[in-house]
Amino acid sequence: MNNILYFDDGGTMPQLGLGTWKSKPGEVYDAVREAIRVGYRHIDCAHLYGNEAEIGQALKDAMNEEGIKREALWITSKLWNNAHHPKNVKPALRVTLENLRLDYLDLYLMHWPVAQQEDSIFPENAMDLISLEKLPLTETWSAMEECVDNGLTRYIGVSNFSAHKLSLILEEGRMKPVMNQIELHPYLQQSALLNFCKENHIHVTAYSPLGSVDRPAIMKAKNEPLLLEDPVIKTIAKQHHASPAQILIAWALHLGVAVVPKSVNPQRIRQNFESSKLVLSESEMEEITGLDLHRRYLDGNIWAIPGSGYTLENLWDE
């Protein structure tokens, strides 16, 4: 395993990246600097995370002080739902580039298959959402394609897309999405979606690979199972003299997907990076396959507002 993903055009992407969702301003600068020192070359960002300006400062300082070349880094960001209208896509990407202090992104993703009004950050009622009939994903996608034409991003992709929604883009788009970033961990293994992506040469990035225990309480269910406490994961970790988090990351790497564990703690940033050295046996991988609960930690409930046309069924197409 060399922990590199290859695209059809020969481009490459580091499989293991630093996640920055929930990394607070005031914390994320040091986290990104430490990650780059440790060896991470892939940073996963999004406009919504509200911390891109601080990440931009960290990237700039790392490039200046450590002689890291822009081409050596892989920077992903994401278009927020309130900028799906084609006229808003390029301006949104420009804001992200300005915040990140970059001339181009490596990968720009549509964050959710959900469209919101321009003035809505999170929908409070049905009026804040725009139905996909009115503002189809394929229209937003055309504007994403123009961002590639204009050299603002090398690649484009999507996040939280079902196989059905990927098919719409594959059928109608001029360019193919090279990535689908989805929640993926042993409790949500998404094997059918993974197979679909593999058949169509679409790479997958696993988000919330450690179960995102630090997400807001409102997004948590009572008594939810904790991945980092799973007895099977803990036993395998013990056998490898590793931590449960390292086993979860190694599992994703063995699946052949990109993975973006978030941490703002220097020891854990390093520990997570070292997961790439772990080799799991076939039987350990099988044991972990047995843990699937089809359990979403991020169930998308926030978009399923009655009267909006969005439901959990049509969000996930399941």
Q: Is 208 in the site for ligand A2P (CB under 6 A)?
A: yes
Residue with smaller CB distance to ligand A2P, 72 or 221: 221
Rounded CA separation 100/28 (Å): 13
Q: Is 212 in the site for ligand A2P (CB under 6 A)?
A: yes
Choose the binding region for ligand A2P from 143-151, 169-177, 190-198, 266-274 (rule: CB under 6 A).
Answer: 266-274
Catalytic pick from 6, 29, 40, 49?
49
Residue with smaller CB distance to ligand A2P, 58 or 89: 58
Q: Is 276 in the site for ligand A2P (CB under 6 A)?
A: no
Give the binding-site size for ligand A2P (rule: CB under 6 A): 19
Residue with smaller CB distance to ligand A2P, 63 or 302: 302
Q: Point out which residues pair with 157 in neighbouring strands.
A: 109
Which residue from 84, 154, 262, 295 is in contact with ligand A2P, where contact means CB under 6 A?
Answer: 262
Which residue from 98, 124, 214, 286 is in contact with ligand A2P, where contact means CB under 6 A?
Answer: 214
Strand order in the sheet with 258-259: 18-19, 42-44, 74-79, 105-110, 153-159, 179-183, 203-207, 258-259
Active site residue 310: no
Active site residues: 49
Binding site for ligand A2P (CB under 6 A): 19, 208-214, 228, 243, 245, 261-265, 268, 271-272
- Write out the binding residues for substrate: 111
